[in-house]
Structure 1
Amino acid sequence: MIIITGASGQLGHLVVSSLLETVPASAVIGLARNTDKAQDLADRGVQVRHVDYDKPETLGPALEGGEKLLLISANEVGRRVPQHQAVIDAAKQAGVSLMAYTSILHADTTPIGLAEEHKATEAYLKASGIPHVLLRNGWYTENYTAQIPGALERGVLLGCAGNGRIASAARADYAAAAAAALTHENQAGSVYELAGDEAYTLADLAAEVARQSGKPFVYKDMPCEAFQAALKEAGLPDGIATMLADSDAAVAKNALFDDGRALSRLIGRPTTPLADMVKAVL
């Protein structure tokens, strides 16, 4: 039995779908805080169970019978460490034989502030003694393509990433990698630095959008403080604006660049090209 946390979320849902290409639905369990949001998976034969990281009493029943477990990092930044630790403790108690965790690219060296919770989770997982595999995911290309419709209206993409190169990949690519790590043999102890096959700057992204849309569109680089202020002015909460500006500043240092192609090797195909992602959103 393979258990996927966050099965109703964007990544988790894609992981389950990817697993179902090679694994019978009866061998897959999807965990969700709101099981109604995973009803379509239940309709496909996946066993859907309720779980709440903040209610440890739900974790034991949720993990019962699981041999392999994918812990998709929780979305509550600032609360993820205790939530992840609760899942790891429950997994050890349940006797899980392999645990995969979606971390961040170059978690041990990256300057990105988001990495701190990932590093703490990796350390706790290592100390637990559970055989595990680390899926250090780079950026989703969707992090940028989702901004295109609104930015295209203004004709400008804002940021403070300078000429930093970004080796992102589609969310579906990372989902396929997780499914592969859960089904391939001898994965315990593996650390995958997962990134896209091609790298681009935000200026390159803007040029691609302009090319495909036929509309004027450029990237405007600015000081990080100014970018953070612009995000707040656009209505983003202070914490989110700070996090995004911090991430962009790290991009300027090539924190989201990796040319090892571990992702395409793991999934057995090239990662989704940036041009295809832009085309899809346009």
Structure 2
Amino acid sequence: MKLLITGASGKLGRATIDHLLRQVDAADLILATRSPQTLADYAARGARVVEADFTKPEGLAHAFAGADRMLLISTDALGQREPQHRAAIEAAVSAGVKFIAYTSFPSFGTDDPLSLEHAATEQQLRESGLQWCVLKNFPYADNEIDALREALEAGEIATSTEAGETAFVSRDDCAAVAAAVLTGTGHEGHTYDVTGPELIDAARRAQIFTEVGQQPIAVRHVDDATASQELSAKSGLPLFVALDIVSSVATATRSGVFAVQSDSVERLTGNPATPLRAVLEHARHH
């Protein structure tokens, strides 16, 4: 059985490959990427590395040829994901792929651009005629590593999420789930919420940052406009982009979109989900 991973050179892709190599031979892997040279280490172990650019659909079916099961990792091209993912799904059908697992995200609602892109891809999968599984990966705990560093510099967390909670999940746990679904059976037609083990609000987040960073971290509650201005100043993003990001994520957090705690990680991988604190502590010591 040949397993295809798209976006294989990204962080989630490489982590998934590493989990798969504990279960299957490298020769059973087809690794699709826009930059084949970045996967030379896996090619040396016997994996087939293929060039695949979702903006050039004419070459995708050839790249996917021979694959039985596929992990479609959502691209990072916000606003362009729908046609890119559609091209990948259509190429998979042409190539004879039988099953696609897709890395999606919790839905913010029908008027949010990010949610609409993922929803469109999920609908394309349902209409493709292929067997499918949707993995709704919750916000990465790994993204909190930079947030912790910034909080330690500022002595505070500025947030507009109010009392909203998030079940931060480690990227490695998401990779382990993806590998389990690709190599396992009985996942067809299922949608899994892939979450961390704890619901964390701003106060709890500050407490974890305080304990890991070993210095007091306060919480400063602000509105979306203030949070957007501070993000824009800090990151260099245009203010309207920062406002779109902040308002979407903060609104979703406040309304409970991320306040879901599932047992998917442990049930599918056999290992308990990694707490946010463990991810941060590992990063601080490595």
TM (norm. structure 2) is 0.93
Q: How does 1:137-216 map to 2 (within 5 A)?
A: 137-216=137-216
Structure 2: distance between partners of 1:151 and 1:45: 43
Report the secondary structure of 1:166's partner residue: coil
Report how far residue 80 of structure 1 moved: 0.3
Letter in 1 for 2:17: V
Give SS of 1:179's match: helix
- Cα separation, 1, equivalents of 2:24 and 2:243: 40
Judge conservation of contact 2:160–2:250 (CA < 8 Å) in 1: yes
Letter in 2 for 1:44: R
Q: Distance between the aligned counterparts of 2:252 and 2:52, measured in 1?
A: 34
Is the 8 Å Cα contact of residues 160 and 248 (structure 1) preserved in structure 2?
yes
Kindly tell me: are residues 240 and 228 of structure 1, through their superposed partners in 2, closer, same or farther at Cα, counting changes over 3 Å? Answer: closer
**What is the deviation of 1:224?**
0.8
Measured in 1, the distance between the counterparts of 2:233 and 2:94 equals 47
Report how far residue 104 of structure 1 moved: 0.9
The letter for the 2-side match of 1:237 is: L
Q: Which residue of 1 aligns with 2:22?
A: 21
**1:228-254 superposed Cα distances (whole Å, 9 cap, x missing partner):** 111111134232552244212211122
Aligned equivalents of 2:190 and 2:248: distance in 1? 29
Query: RMSD of the TM alignment (CA)?
Result: 1.7
Q: Are 1:100 and 1:133, in contact at CA under 8 Å, matched by a contact in 2?
A: yes
Contact 1:85 1:124 survives alignment (8 Å): yes
- Identity, % of aligned positions: 32
What one-letter code is carried by the residue in structure 1 that aligns with 2:252?
A
Contact 1:35 1:49 in 2 (8 A): yes
Indicate if the aligned counterparts of 2:67 and 2:97 stay in contact, CA closer than 8 A.
Answer: yes
- SS state of the match for residue 147, structure 1? helix
Q: Measure, in 2, the Cα distance between the counterparts of 1:114 and 1:244.
A: 13
Distance in structure 1 (CA, Å) of the matches to 2:83 and 2:237: 23
Shift in Å, 1:178: 0.4
2:243 and 2:55 map into 1 onto residues whose CA distance is: 26
Match of 2:263 in 1: 261
| Contact 1:113–1:247 under 8 Å retained in 2 | no
Q: Which residue of 1 aligns with 2:3?
A: 2
Query: Structure 1: where are the runs of 5+ without partners?
Result: none
The question of whether the paired residues in 2 share the 8 Å contact of 1:111 and 1:250 is answered with no
Distance 1:253 1:261, change over 3 A: same
Q: TM-score, normalised by structure 1?
A: 0.94
CA separation in 1, counterparts of 2:103 and 2:276? 22
